[in-house]
Amino acid sequence: MKLMKYHQRAIIAIEFITAHNSDEDSFLAAFPEAEDGHTSLHKAIQRARLERGDAKRRR
């Protein structure tokens, strides 16, 4: 379970740093789910990455 949380937090950090240039205001505006916790935020980021074409769906 700890490995999953580490992976989710890594994805969140990568999104924050690369897609939003470490701009907290931009990140929070794009992902208001951040207030709900890291799992909700991770799911929102995954949806955004799929829409942008930065990720692929698993089969």
Long-range interactions of 48-53: CB distance < 8 A, separation 24+: 48/15, 49/15
Q: What is the mean pLDDT of residues 1-21?
A: 88
Q: Parse the chain into domains and list their residue ranges.
A: 2-51
pLDDT tens for 19-58 read: 999 999 999 999 999 999 989 999 999 999 999 998 888 8
Written in H, E and C, the secondary structure of the chain is CHHHHHHHHHHHHHHHHHHCCCCHHHHHHHCHHHHHCHHHHHHHHHHHHHHHCCCCCCC
pLDDT for res 4 = 77
